[in-house]
Copies of this chain bind each other. A is one copy, B any other.
Amino acid sequence: MPDRKTALLDSAERAARSRGFDGFSYADMARDVGIRTASIHYHFPSKADLSAALMSRYHESFAEICAQIDARHGTASARLIALIDCYRLAHGDAQRVCLCVAFSISRESLSTQVAGQLGAFRTMMRDWIEAVFRLAQTDGTIADVADPAAEAAATLALLEGAQLSARAENAPARFDDALRSMLSRAS
């Protein structure tokens, strides 16, 4: 039984990730949660406030996920596979993309604060992935790692691009098609 504010964030996140930042409205959320649009402004005065709260929660959530992966998995390959599983699960059979992807295209519609949060999220993820590839150079569980920073940038782009591909074609299998080569390096 989440409180109303959480229910609103959940609704907004679902909508943003399936229709983009410019593709959902307070009216959608109101219908979804069962209150009037005016009431939403009590919790989130403006859409900029709402999206900042959305990004903030998303950032914390992924920081937690990465920490848990580190705690549960000791090898680079296991950590990479766990992250890929997480992205696959999150995009729910091609129905949603990562919030980061959803906001990236609408960058010009975002407040400067949210644009900053978007950059911070991407930096966090890239740094974490880079650490995984650096570990791989030591433990040898991922093949042919020459440049961990480049691998990290490529992996983040690949994960997001794979979600986008699957979403564009409404074909969940596209996600796994795009990740197949990367997964084969990690086994």
Contacts and interface: CB of A to CB of B under 8 A. Distances in A.
Interface of A: 18-20, 22-23, 97, 100-109, 115, 118-119, 122, 144, 146-147, 149-151, 153-154, 156-162, 164-165, 167-170, 174, 177-182, 184
A157 B103 CA distance: 18
A118 to B, nearest CB: 6
Given A103-B168, A153-B174, 11 more contacts: A20-B20, A20-B106, A23-B109, A107-B168, A115-B170, A119-B168, A147-B180, A153-B162, A153-B180, A154-B178, A154-B179
A23 B149 contact: no
Contacts of A164: 101, 104-105, 157, 160-161, 164
Given A154-B180, A181-B151, A100 B168 contact: yes
Q: Is the interface of A mostly helix, strand, loop or mixed?
A: helix
Given A23-B109, A177-B149, A161 B156 contact: yes
A31 B63 CA distance: 44
> Which 6 A-B pairs rank lowest in CB-CB distance, beginning with the nearest?
A161-B161, A157-B161, A104-B168, A153-B177, A22-B22, A150-B180
A160 B154 contact: no
